A and B are shown apart, each in its own frame.
Chain A
Amino acid sequence: MSLFRHVCIVLLMTLLTLGVGSQAVAQSADPGREISTSVGAADADTWRQVRSGEVDANYRDSRHDSNYNLINAAGQTWREIRNHWVTPFGLIAIGAMIVMIALFYVIFGRKNLDERPTGRKLFRWSALERTLHWSVASLFIILALSGLNILYGKYVFRSLFGDAVWGAMISASKVSHNYLGPLFGILLLIILAKFFKHNLPKKHDLAWFKKGGGLVGKGHPDAGFANAGEKVWYWLLATAGVAVIISGLVLNFPNFDQSRDTMMWANVIHAVAALGLTAVALGHIYIGTIGTEGSLEGMKTGYVDEVWAKEHHNLWYEEVKDQAVDAEQLDTPAAGEDERPAPSQPG
């Protein structure tokens, strides 16, 4: 046996005796003692039950609003969904949309009318419809901006502007979001009901999609009062938009004592649907403003040029073309804003 091993063994034995010596109390203790003093079987099963969120008749919580479990890890799932999925992918969706629109504009440019506008106008949107549209649109923009601030603001503005400005910004966002949200909800439902008939799917919508709304091949595909692209936007609002409203209301009225889980899911649905809509809305705004010649005019004045109608909504144009009026006539207030000449446009 080498000297080294000798030394090692001696050292080890010394250590062991020392250890046993100092831990004598613990070692000699009777394991039964812990059992006799320990709380019963608060074992893995108990903790499993705690984790599951089950609360039985023998659960007590000294807080007056005792609707919490001892430990509720559900929020962790929500945190991960919101912070790891919704936050980055929402940004990606909106960013990708902006890039796509910019590229589209650079490559294809503005969609101008093929023929020169004649100056003869067709009545398209009543004052009520235009008021509804711009109210919903303004509220949408306010809600989108305040919502985006709630989700992303802290990554940008706090360090940029400091606590005082950031505090004012975020509380304004929350207050405007929470009070204007329900108003937006009501107006969106009204506008959906009002535009319902225009947006019923038709056979020619398929052909419209096949031609990419006119991007593919020559000429304009058939379209009634609303073309297939507009119908998609309508039905997105009628589905995702309604989901945003319902989930928003769930978040907005905690006074009904809905559970934490309900609110977390409402938050996820709300954020996903709202971010999706925000991305698509950018496309809608692009097409309605700089993207297509003559579209904005319709929603501004209520009238569109007959050439615009012929090119973009030929089926509708066929129905109403005999009602065209000269632009000069429209400048006189007498030309009655609100009376849509004989509602002969069900398609």
Chain B
Amino acid sequence: MAQMKFMCDAERCIDCNGCVTACKNANDVEWGIQRRRVVTLNDGEPTEVSISVACMHCDDAPCMAVCPTDCFYKTDDGIVLHDKDLCIGCGYCLYACPFGAPQFPKQNAFGERGKMDKCTFCAGGPADSKEEEYEKYGANRIAEGKLPLCAEMCSTKALLAGDAQTVADIFRQRVVQRGHEDGAWSEVNRQGPDTAAARMDNLAYDATRQG
């Protein structure tokens, strides 16, 4: 069984926002909602780095854990989807998600937010007909045997989508190709003197780790 994941190779992302546009186009999402975004750190500086983010389809998904209606579910492919018929727009998933993936069409008094919307990995969502599914959740490319459009459209192939194992293999290959000695799994010379190598990107750095 596949475990679908996104992965954005920050070495390659050129902040073109093609993924954002592709997503908008594929899913015809409501005005004001943008399921994918590109974040640039240190813009304009030599250390500039960009990364495209949407829902990460977490294994232990925080949105799923806090939703009062229990409207999230995980497909057999590890894709986190939600049922808009059950969603009450309480915003709890938005609080819980580390990536700012859940969004709302509005933000009005009395907690009127409308139905939550987020990236579906182009896998649609629960609905009675194809039309209804498209209306509510956008494209279901997975059902057609295709991968998310954002990744398919990525011009530099920075954004990868697919089975975690395959994605990881591609990334590992790239890293090795780039000349990193051991597939980027080690801290590069971090304890040593402050050389260029010491400052080099630790590609496998686990950002969730304390520190």
Chain A residues with a Cβ under 8 A of chain B: 23, 25-26, 29-35, 37-44, 46-51, 56, 58-66, 68-73, 75-76, 78-79, 82-83, 150-151, 153-154, 158, 163, 166-167, 170-171, 173-174, 178-179, 182, 251-255, 257, 260, 263-264, 267
A253 to B109, CA, bound (A): 5
Are B113 and A254 in contact, CB atoms less than 8 angstroms apart?
A: yes
**A48: which B residues are within 8 A, CB to CB?**
211
**B92: which A residues are within 8 A, CB to CB?**
267
A66 to B103, CA, bound (A): 12
Q: Tell me the dominant secondary structure on chain A's binding face.
A: helix
Within 8 A of A (CB), among B92-118: 92, 94-100, 107-113
Q: List 18 A-B contacts (CB under 8 A).
A: A25-B177, A31-B181, A38-B178, A40-B45, A40-B46, A43-B202, A58-B40, A58-B48, A61-B39, A61-B40, A62-B20, A63-B100, A75-B97, A170-B68, A179-B110, A251-B111, A255-B109, A260-B94
Q: Tell me the dominant secondary structure on chain B's binding face.
A: loop
Are A37 and B48 in contact, CB atoms less than 8 angstroms apart?
A: no
State whether A166 and B86 are in contact (beta carbons under 8 Å apart), knowing that A38-B200, A41-B201, A43-B201 are contacts in the complex. yes
State whether A70 and B53 are in contact (beta carbons under 8 Å apart), knowing that A46-B42, A179-B110 are contacts in the complex. yes
Taking the nearest CB of chain A, how far is it from the CB of B192, in angstroms?
13
**B110: which A residues are within 8 A, CB to CB?**
178-179, 182, 252-253
Are A26 and B177 in contact, CB atoms less than 8 angstroms apart?
A: yes
State whether A151 and B68 are in contact (beta carbons under 8 Å apart), knowing that A167-B85, A260-B94, A267-B95 are contacts in the complex. yes
Are A68 and B178 in contact, CB atoms less than 8 angstroms apart?
A: no
A38 to B181, CA, bound (A): 14
B141 proximal to A (CB < 8 A): no
A151 to B68, CA, bound (A): 6
A-B pairs, top 7 by smallest CB distance, nearest first, are A68-B100, A40-B47, A29-B179, A154-B70, A60-B40, A63-B37, A75-B96
**B96: which A residues are within 8 A, CB to CB?**
75-76, 78-79
Are B208 and A73 in contact, CB atoms less than 8 angstroms apart?
A: yes
A178 to B208, CA, bound (A): 35
Are A150 and B180 in contact, CB atoms less than 8 angstroms apart?
A: no
Are B41 and A70 in contact, CB atoms less than 8 angstroms apart?
A: yes
Given contacts A42-B47, A44-B190, A46-B41, 18 further A-B contacts (CB under 8 A): A25-B177, A29-B176, A35-B200, A37-B11, A40-B45, A40-B199, A40-B201, A51-B207, A59-B39, A63-B100, A75-B96, A78-B96, A83-B66, A154-B69, A158-B70, A166-B86, A253-B111, A263-B91
B127 proximal to A (CB < 8 A): no
Are B179 and A32 in contact, CB atoms less than 8 angstroms apart?
A: yes
- Chain B's closest residue to A155 (CB) is B70
